[in-house]
Amino acid sequence: MILSGNFIAFRYQVLGHIGRGGMQDVYLAHDDLLNMNVALKTPQPGQGVKRFKQSAIIAARVNHHNVAKTLDYLETDDAAYLVEEFVEGESLEEKLKRFGYLDPHLGARVLHYLAKGISASHRAGVIHRDLKPSNVMVAKGVNLHELKITDFGIATLTEDVLDDAAKDGDLTRSTSGTVKGALPYMAPELMFRKSGERTESAVDIWSLGAMMFRLLTGKFPFGIFLEAAVNVKNNTREAWPNFMTFNPQLAPLAKELQSLIESCLEYDPKLRPNAEDLVLKCQDLCYLAIDREEGIVNNLIQNGSSGFITREGNNAFFSMESVYGENRPNTSQNRSVCFSSFPGYPRSRAHPIIVLKS
C-alpha cells in the first residue's frame, strides 16, 4: 500500500487508495507537472510487471472520449505504474445501487456511450475482454455523462489469467477473483474455450449485452459465479421483466433496446452486431438527450394519480403516467426520484420519472 503524500517518480503525489481490481490497486494521485488528478494503477503482488507493461502499451492505442485515456507508464526500483485519466464519480456498479435499474431513455444514452467507446477500441485493434459495470466510470449525479470505460489495459492480463485457468482444465471452476468477477458478463466462446484458442472482438459485444441487461433490469442475465456458467451453457437467460413495457409511452423504446441487447447476446459470435453497427443503431434510437435532475416527492394529488416534486428552483408537476419501474413515487419510502423536466404552466412537467433507492 502506498501512503498518501508519497511521490512516485517525483511527479505523481498519491492522495489516497481508491480501489482494488482483480489484479491491481488503484490510487488517486495528483500529477504535479500538469496540475491534474490522475488514476495511478499498480499491479498487486504476484502479477508480472512484463504483462503489466504490455497491457499499458495496448491500452495507450485507444483515444476516445468514452475510454479512460492511458497517460503514462513508468517503472521504479520496486514497482510498475500505469497512469490513467481520472473520472471523478462512481462506477456503473455503484450507480446501480442508487438506481436499481435505468429507465429506457437513460439506458439508451448509456448504451450509446458504451458502444462508441468499444467501437473506438475495436477500431484500434484492442479488445477489452472484461467489460462489466465496475469497469465503467461516470461523473457524479444522475446524468451519467462523462462515461468512460476503464481497464482496457488489463485486457492482456485478463487473457493470460483466462488462459491459465483454461489450462488448469475448466475455466468456470477457477478460483481467480478476476475470472469470478467476469463470469456474469463472459461470452460463451470465452467461457468454454480451450487453452490457446483465440477469441475475437465479439466477446466484448456479448459483455455489453449482458451488462446492459443488468443495467436495465437490475438482474444478472445468467446469474453469478458458477450459476452463470451453467445458465450460459444451457441457454437459460432471465426473462425481461414486465415493468419494462408496462408504461405505454416508454414501451416502444424499451422494446427497441431489448431487441438490440438480444442481438448482442446471440450465442454465435458471428450473429452479433459489431460495435460500429451498434453505434449506428444507437444513433437511431429516439432517446431524450436532455439532462436529468433529482428531486423529492412532496405531495400527491388527484387520488394519487399525480403529484409534485421539490427540486432546485420551482416544484415540478408529475403524472403517474410518466412513472417507469416497479415502484410508484410517494411521500415516504419512494420519495427520492430522478427525472427530466419540460417547461410547463404553472409548474414544469417531469417525464419520465424513476424512483431512486436512496
What angle in degrees, to the nearest 10, is found between the helix axes of 275-283 and 104-123? 140
Rounded Cα distance, 99 and 62, in Å: 30
Per-residue x/- mask for other proteins, residues 87 to 106, rule CB under 8 A? ------------------x-
Q: Which of residues 157-216 bind other proteins (CB under 8 A)?
A: none
Among 5-13, 85-93, 125-133, 341-349, the segment contacting other proteins (CB under 8 A):
341-349
Minimum CB distance to other proteins, residue 289 (Å): 5
Answer for the pair 201, 122: CB distance below 8 angstroms, yes or no: yes
Among 49, 252, 262, 298, binds other proteins (CB under 8 A): 252
Cell of 6: 508519497
Minimum distance from residue 46 beta carbon to other proteins (Å): 39
Segment lying near other proteins (by CB under 8 A), choices 70-78, 93-101, 173-181, 342-350: 342-350
Task: Please name every residue paired with 8 in a beta bridge, in sequence order, or none if there are none.
Answer: 12
CB of 346 to other proteins, least distance (A): 9
Q: Which of 11, 180, 237, 349 binds other proteins (CB under 8 A)?
A: 349
Stretch that binds other proteins, among 52-60, 67-75, 192-200, 250-258 (CB under 8 A): 250-258
Q: In this structure, how many other beta carbons lie within 10 angstroms of the beta carbon of residue 28? A: 18
All 3 cell numbers of residue 237?
Answer: 437467460
305 is a contact residue toward other proteins (CB under 8 A): no
The beta strand positions in the chain, using DSSP E, are: 7-8, 12-20, 24-31, 36-43, 70-75, 80-85, 89-91, 136-139, 148-149, 293-301, 306-310, 316-319, 336-342, 348-355
Specify the stretch interacting with other proteins by CB under 8 A; choose among 74-82, 134-142, 176-184, 251-259.
251-259
Residues 213-251: b if buried by 16+ CB within 10 A, e if exposed? bbbbbbebbbbeeeebbebbeeeebeebeebbeebeebe
Q: Tell me how far apart the alpha carbons of residues 130 and 273 are, in angstroms, rounded to a whole number.
A: 18
Q: Which stretch binds other proteins (CB under 8 A): 192-200, 210-218, 277-285, 299-307?
A: 277-285
Is residue 311 at the binding interface for other proteins, with CB under 8 A as the rule?
Answer: no
Choice between 53 and 116, CB closer to other proteins: 116
Determine which residue in the list 53, 116, 128, 311 makes contact with other proteins, applying CB under 8 A: 116
Candidate list 16, 289, 314, 357; residue touching other proteins; CB under 8 A: 289
Among 15, 285, 300, 320, binds other proteins (CB under 8 A): 285
* DSSP annotation of 1: -
In the numeric block, the cell 458458477 is attached to 226
- Report the alpha-carbon distance of residue 266 to residue 225 in Å, rounded: 21
> Of 290, 299, 330, 331, which one interacts with other proteins (CB under 8 A)?
290
Which residue is it, cell 489516497? Answer: 16
Closer residue to other proteins in complex, CB, 49/280: 280
Footprint on this chain of other proteins (rule: CB under 8 A):
105, 112, 116, 119, 248-253, 279, 282-290, 319, 321, 340, 342-345, 349, 351
